[in-house]
Amino acid sequence: MTNTTVRVRELNLYRQYFDLVAAGTKTIEVRVKYPHLADLAAGETIRFRIKGTDETCDVKVKRVTEYSDFEALLDGEGPANVNPTATREQQLTNIRAIYPPEKEALGALAIEIARTSR
């Protein structure tokens, strides 16, 4: 018998990015390649949550691509897919404010997502 339980990963997201995901305009989520995300794969579900609230938004992972750093990720994925409301330079500044150089050194993950109905 096979296990058909779908794994749902819960990840926190800042309000500004949560709203873009919920609206379906943010199709690439940027994360550092932490060990707990190293095996993230297409077909999985991510439940984004605004920390400290009950607000959630479920997405399906379509693809996960690893990059050496955030600049390569933005160039490879296109800044408008990561955050359609900010320039490439603004996004790089914002991402690096969240993840310092030692975290970026772990590698950057571009997680292509699609909003699921919920």
The CA-based angle 14-19-49, given to 5 degrees, is 50
> DSSP assignment, residue 85?
T
CATH 2.30.130.30, domain 8-115, yes or no: yes
- Taking all residues of the chain, what is their mean pLDDT, rounded to a whole number? 93
Task: Identify the residue with better confidence: 51 or 1.
Answer: 51
Helices (H) and strands (E) in the chain, counts: 5, 5
Please report, for the chain, the start and end positions of each structural domain, with discontinuous segments joined by +.
8-115
Nearest Cα neighbor of 29 from 86, 73, 72, 71 is 73
Longest dimension (CA), the chain: 50
Q: SS3 of 39, please?
A: coil
Mean pLDDT in residue range 95-116: 97
Q: How confident is the model at residue 32, as a pLDDT? A: 97
Residue 19 has pLDDT above 90, yes or no: yes
Work out the percent of the chain whose per-residue pLDDT is above 70: 93
